[in-house]
Amino acid sequence: MSEKYDVIVIGGGPGGYVAAIRAAQLGYKTACIEKRINKQGDPALGGTCLNVGCIPSKALLDSSWKYHEAEEAFADHGIGVGKLNLDLDTMLQRKDKIVLQLTGGIAQLFKANKVDWLQGTGQLKANKQVVFKPLEGDEQTLEAENVVLAAGSVPIDIPVAEVDQQIIVDSTGALEFTSVPKKLGVIGAGVIGLELGSVWARLGSQVTVLEAVDTFLPAVDQQVAKEAMKQFTKQGLDIHLGARVTGSKKNKNSVRVTYTDGGGEQEETFDRLIVAVGRRPYTEGLLSQDAGVTLDERNFIYVDNQCRTDVPGVYAIGDLVRGPALAHKAIEEGVMVAEVIAGEHTQVNYDAVPGVIYTHPEVAWVGKTEEEVKESGEPYKTGVVPFAANGRALAAGESAGMVKFVVDEKSDRVLGMHVLGPQASELVQQGVISLEFGASIEDLQLMVFGHPSLSETVHEAALATDYKAIHVAQRRRKK
Ligand code: FAD
Ligand code: NAD
């Protein structure tokens, strides 16, 4: 007889492991099937995010930033460090240690919550049956009252630059360079291109980013994006917009890339090339022919706003489904489906999912951009205040960037918050809370913010929407 579970989750990334833990908390007999083998050769939970995504990239971003500061900024503080030494090996080992600590932590949480971690591959069949092929041993068919599909995503390949993980790499390979490439090419000026491009630029690479689209960060508020482009260019990222890669030819230790841009045919040789042109849902092997779930035109599993697929009792979450491919979105969908299964009132507020690019300065946003609001035709107001007017930012030597609010003119409701600057990833949460609570900008204007703090720029930007900011010169509104 096949084993029966209340909930089987396929995929142990941030969506899947969270769904499994929450389902177990709610009293369900739960299994999570995960097939990942980590770089040490061991089965691992945590998905893309913990193993080869959010966490290792942030570890390298933090290490490389410290190196950059020691090299460029310490002297301003009167700190001399002598000749700087880069021990890349130690830097990479530190990253690996953090990954192991966190992924091991998920395994502990599974034990504590009595979630069965089934190590191997899962495939959904009809009638909520799941074929489980263990890493070792025979295939078995499991049954479940509910199945949660959480298989995540994989990098998109482009035929003009095939990844070999040696010379031409994807994001996973870009976390593992054993020496700093002298000349590094990046295809795609999206989140991964900018974050990993920054890591290697800080460590000494000469970085060229080739972006097909003419607009820099088109999803980001363009006032913020333009300033970000200026800052990144100043840091040495050579970003080419409207650049279409037409081919690449590898040699033993380099790759010659051809591309076209406004200036015609171009050619450049790099020691390493990162391909970061987006990710696609990972459905290979996940669904048997009779599984019955519908895919949309872009191969995402089709779900409603509570992540139900077309098959009753089967849910899909995270990078497998519509919406931004972000760990925190996957996490909240994981919580939501477990609570939907339990019949609880629950939701994800898709209008208040923040986005962050962990460059320096960081870029972070939530809600609508000015361009989106303008297009809607509704009257709106904005308030923009630079960090250069903030004492704490100046004291820290972090005065680049700004906070911007976009506000509904009629209702005074906050529609969007956009930040380029120090700790933008933390500051943007104030915008998330404002959107979630339906705050008016006056609510923020009337709050007391600690001094000196970076958050004071949030306060000033709120005041600036009504020409009331104190520390910037604003044109007064006529009575
Ligand atoms: P995943 O994390 O991809 O997990 C899915 C898991 O399912 C995988 O481990 C896979 O092995 C397993 N699996 C797939 N098919 C099967 C099967 N048939 N049987 C068993 N197991 C299966 N997001 C952020 O919010 N912040 C960041 O800072 C950030 N940084 C990133 C940096 C990089 C370099 C990358 C690549 C991504 C980053 N992301 C970040 C995106 C984030 O990693 C994803 O949005 C998130 O991991 C999606 O979670 P998920 O649970 O849907 O899928
Ligand atoms: P992305 O969608 O952010 O950026 C891809 C970029 O590549 C786009 O600007 C696109 O126009 C460009 N592009 C596409 N095809 C191209 C081509 N042939 N030539 C040149 N440019 C091309 O994708 P990504 O950077 O690969 O990241 C994938 C996903 O991972 C993101 O959607 C994001 O959700 C997630 N992620 C998030 C974080 C974070 O939250 N900080 C960090 C890394 C990754």
Kindly identify the ligand whose nearest atom is closest to the C-alpha of 120: 1
- What is the distance in A from the centroid of ligand 2 to the CA of 256? 22
Summarised one tens digit per residue, pLDDT across range 271-291 is 999 999 999 999 999 999 999
pLDDT score of 475: 73
- What is the distance in A from the centroid of ligand 1 to the CA of 208? 27
pLDDT score of 477: 61
Q: What is the pLDDT tens value at each position of the chain, 479 positions in all?
A: 468 999 999 999 999 999 999 999 999 999 999 999 999 999 999 999 999 999 999 999 999 999 999 999 999 999 999 999 999 999 999 999 999 999 999 999 999 999 999 999 999 999 999 999 999 999 999 999 999 999 999 999 999 999 999 999 999 999 999 999 999 999 999 999 999 999 999 999 999 999 999 999 999 999 999 999 999 999 999 999 999 999 999 999 999 999 999 999 999 999 999 999 999 999 999 999 999 999 999 999 999 999 999 999 999 999 999 999 999 999 999 999 999 999 999 999 999 999 999 999 999 999 999 999 999 999 999 999 999 999 999 999 999 999 999 999 999 999 999 999 999 999 999 999 999 999 999 999 999 999 999 999 999 999 999 999 999 998 766 66
Q: Is the pTM of this model over 0.95?
A: yes
CB proximity list for 188: less than 8 A, separation 6 or greater: 209, 210, 211, 212, 275, 276, 277, 278
- What is the distance in A from the centroid of ligand 1 to the CA of 452? 38
pLDDT score of 1: 46
* Residue nearest atom 33 in ligand 2 by C-alpha distance: 325
Kindly identify the ligand whose nearest atom is closest to the C-alpha of 135: 1
| Among the listed residues 322, 316, 412, 328, the one whose alpha carbon sits nearest the alpha carbon of residue 366 | 328
- What is the distance in A from the centroid of ligand 1 to the CA of 53? 7
Q: Which of 8, 22, 54 to mutate to test the pocket of ligand 1 (most atoms within 8 A of CB)?
A: 54
Distance between CA atoms of 163 and 156, rounded to whole angstroms?
A: 10
- What is the distance in A from the centroid of ligand 1 to the CA of 152? 5
Q: Is 368 exposed, middle or buried (0-12, 13-18, 19+ CB in 10 A)?
A: buried
Distance between CA atoms of 409 and 355, rounded to whole angstroms?
A: 24
Q: Which of 57, 163, 199, 277 to mutate to test the pocket of ligand 2 (most atoms within 8 A of CB)?
A: 277
- Residue 320 CA, closest ligand 1 atom number: 52
- Cβ–ligand 2 distance for 210 under 6 Å, the answer yes
- Cβ–ligand 2 distance for 276 under 6 Å, the answer yes
* Residue nearest atom 33 in ligand 1 by C-alpha distance: 53
User: Around 271, how many Cα atoms within 13 Å sit in the side-chain half-sphere?
Assistant: 14
> What are the two backbone dihedrals, phi and then psi, of residue 256, each rounded to the nearest 5 degrees?
-95, 125
pLDDT score of 3: 85
Distance between CA atoms of 456 and 471, rounded to whole angstroms?
A: 10
- What is the distance in A from the centroid of ligand 2 to the CA of 325? 10
Among 240, 345, 418, 451, the active-site one is 451
- What is the distance in A from the centroid of ligand 2 to the CA of 46? 21
To the nearest 10 degrees (0 to 180), the angle between helices 54-68 and 88-113 is 150
- Residue 286 CA, closest ligand 1 atom number: 18
Residue with tokens 């003009």: 160
- Residue 324 CA, closest ligand 2 atom number: 34
Sign of CA dihedral 230, 208, 277, 149: negative
User: Which residues lie with the beta carbon below 6 Å from any ligand 1 atom?
Assistant: 10-16, 33-36, 47-49, 53-54, 57, 121-122, 150-153, 171, 192, 282, 285-286, 318-319, 325-328, 330, 358
- Cβ–ligand 2 distance for 406 under 6 Å, the answer no
451 counts as catalytic? yes
| Among the listed residues 374, 373, 375, 392, the one whose alpha carbon sits nearest the alpha carbon of residue 451 | 392
Distance between CA atoms of 71 and 348, rounded to whole angstroms?
A: 43
Kindly identify the ligand whose nearest atom is closest to the C-alpha of 161: 2
The DSSP code for 388 is G
Distance between CA atoms of 204 and 198, rounded to whole angstroms?
A: 10
* CB neighbour burial string for 69-97, b if at least 16 within 10 angstroms, e if fewer: beeeeeeeeeeeeeeeebeeeebbeebbe
Kindly identify the ligand whose nearest atom is closest to the C-alpha of 54: 1
Q: Which of 54, 153, 191 to mutate to test the pocket of ligand 2 (most atoms within 8 A of CB)?
A: 191
* Residue nearest atom 41 in ligand 2 by C-alpha distance: 357
- Cβ–ligand 2 distance for 192 under 6 Å, the answer yes
- Residue 155 CA, closest ligand 1 atom number: 36
- What is the distance in A from the centroid of ligand 2 to the CA of 172? 14
